[in-house]
Amino acid sequence: MFIARVVGTVVATRKAESLVGHKFLLLRQVNGEGKDTANYVVATDAVGAGEGDVVLYASGSSARQTQITHEKPCDAVVMAIIDSWEVGPKRIYDKSKA
């Protein structure tokens, strides 16, 4: 699993039939200190995330384990919207203060 920030959406009017109705998000990975990295990924949204949300996503075969992605050609899925995270005593992210 990885942490990322939703930075946009990806629209595809033509796609595999099994992906019709899926919402695609453009994610920018963040590091353990909550800082943006240079890595981006496109992911299917399973939880209703939106731009600016910090999310938890899975990739590879794990991405095909959710109810909406099972046996679909999907390599990344957003599976949680993060409320907060801490490293030791330090709070790295708090959605209520974002």
The stretch 31-54 carries a mean pLDDT of: 96
CATH superfamily assigned to domain 2-97: EutN/Ccml (2.40.50.220)
* Spans of all domains in the chain: 2-97
Q: What is the pLDDT of residues 54-97, one digit of tens each?
A: 999 998 767 676 767 767 777 899 999 999 999 999 999 999 98
- Res 63: pLDDT: 67
d(CA 39, CA 59): 14
Residues paired with 86 in a beta bridge = 91
Q: What is the pLDDT of residues 10-19, one digit of tens each?
A: 999 898 887 8
Q: What is the pLDDT of residues 24-41, one digit of tens each?
A: 999 999 999 999 999 999
